[in-house]
Amino acid sequence: MRIGMLTGGGDCPGLNAVIRAVVRKGILHYGDEFVGFMEGWRGVLDDATMPLNMETTSGILHKGGTILRSSRTNVKKIPNGFETCLQVIASHKLDALIALGGDDTQSISLALSERGVKCIGVPKTIDNDLSGTDACFGFDTAVTIATEAIDRLHSTAEAHNRVLVCEVMGRDAGWIAITSGIAGGADVILVPEVPIDIEEVCRLLRYRYDHGKKFAIVVAAEGAKFPEREQASQGAAVDAFGHVRLSGIGQQLAEEIEKRTGFETRSVNLGHTQRGGTPSAYDRMLATRYGVRAIDLAHEGRFGRLVVLKGTHISDIPLSEAIAKTRTVDQDLLDVMTSLEPPRR
């Protein structure tokens, strides 16, 4: 088969591991040929490609980023975008197209599937919020980075008797915040799923200070918001898929906490640090398993599907199911979080 591949949306550690697994199994077991499209859907629109073979995919397993680069190009916003994609895909005589990406990228895969392209999706989002799969690669690495940062914030917070607010990624779902917050022993964890109750945040902090500790750690997902405010963002500009650039809830919280409690408070935003660098062993494994299943699906002729993790097993679902809704944080994790807090009166 001749197979195209691309990586779209925000990058995350493990993309290269998927690319390598697809290409290795495809070449070694099926005799496939590959075309790599550069920078997500932009590479299809511009016919910008690179060769994908044993040489170009060698030595990339442990590397962050993506050798195919990425972008948030939205084909739906480009005049004649789908027609151009169809022409380019036909000109490369592709039998299948494997797209690594989140709900935005997969919404284009679905639209192309409906136009006859034989698409297969691999789920990718650092936020871990794609429905239909229990995990996206890159998430474990991000949580490890955030947890280590929270560990480090403890000593400087303690040295200065400060509250430190750590802002982590998570636009619509607080998976990174709740997982790194619990793992790192944060005193307060704030997620987009639960509107911020600033009085409750301050009560938890006062309780801690009243019981001997003179410092505290708050972890907040970038998408957490005060009930009466918009999500904190860097202005009103939106990307090609209509998302504002979130940032600043940590600073907003720091100001409110200091004003209400009198505790000296600082904020830090981990930002893209969470998406950079080498993937964890877990993410390399998950990414490799996804890649192997994706190329197998192509040879089974099962198109319009997304590779997923169900429990501990790799499976697949229709692309339409994956983009139907956001997978938010489970109630049992929220319960673990509140189990560690002093009970509400």
Backbone angles phi, psi at 131, to 5 degrees: -75, 155
Q: CB nearer to ligand F6P: give 44 or 126.
A: 126
Q: CB nearer to ligand F6P: give 39 or 127.
A: 127
Backbone angles phi, psi at 330, to 5 degrees: -65, 145
What is the smallest separation between the CB atom of 325 and ligand F6P, expressed in angstroms?
A: 16
How far, in whole angstroms, is CA 24 from its chain's centroid?
25
How far, in whole angstroms, is CA 259 from its chain's centroid?
33
Q: CB nearer to ligand F6P: give 73 or 265.
A: 73
What is the smallest separation between the CB atom of 63 and ligand F6P, expressed in angstroms?
A: 18
HSE-CB for 281 with a 13 A CA cutoff: 0
Q: CB nearer to ligand F6P: give 29 or 245.
A: 245
Q: Which residues pair with 265 in a beta bridge?
A: 163
Q: CB nearer to ligand F6P: give 72 or 305.
A: 72
Q: Which of 295, 280, 304 is nearest to 119 (CA)?
A: 304
What is the smallest separation between the CB atom of 263 and ligand F6P, expressed in angstroms?
A: 28
What is the smallest separation between the CB atom of 112 and ligand F6P, expressed in angstroms?
A: 21
Where are the strands (E) in the chain, listed by range?
2-7, 33-37, 49-52, 96-101, 119-123, 163-168, 188-190, 216-221, 233-238, 244-246, 265-269, 305-310, 313-318
59 contacts 106 by C-beta, under 8 angstroms = no
Where does this chain bind ligand F6P (CB under 6 A)?
Answer: 10, 125-127, 169-171, 222, 245-246, 275
What is the smallest separation between the CB atom of 253 and ligand F6P, expressed in angstroms?
A: 17
Q: CB nearer to ligand F6P: give 49 or 274.
A: 274
CA angle 154, 157, 163 (to 5 degrees): 110
Residue nearest to ligand F6P according to CB distances in the complex? 169
Give the three-state DSSP class for 123.
strand
What is the smallest separation between the CB atom of 318 and ligand F6P, expressed in angstroms?
A: 22
Backbone dihedral region of 192: left (phi > 0), alpha (psi from -120 to 50 degrees) or beta?
alpha
DSSP 248-280: -HHHHHHHHHHHHH---EEEEE-GGGGG-SPPP
Question: Catalytic residue positions?
Answer: 127
Give the three-state DSSP class for 292.
helix
Q: Give every CB contact of residue 213 below 8 A, 6+ residues apart in sequence.
A: none
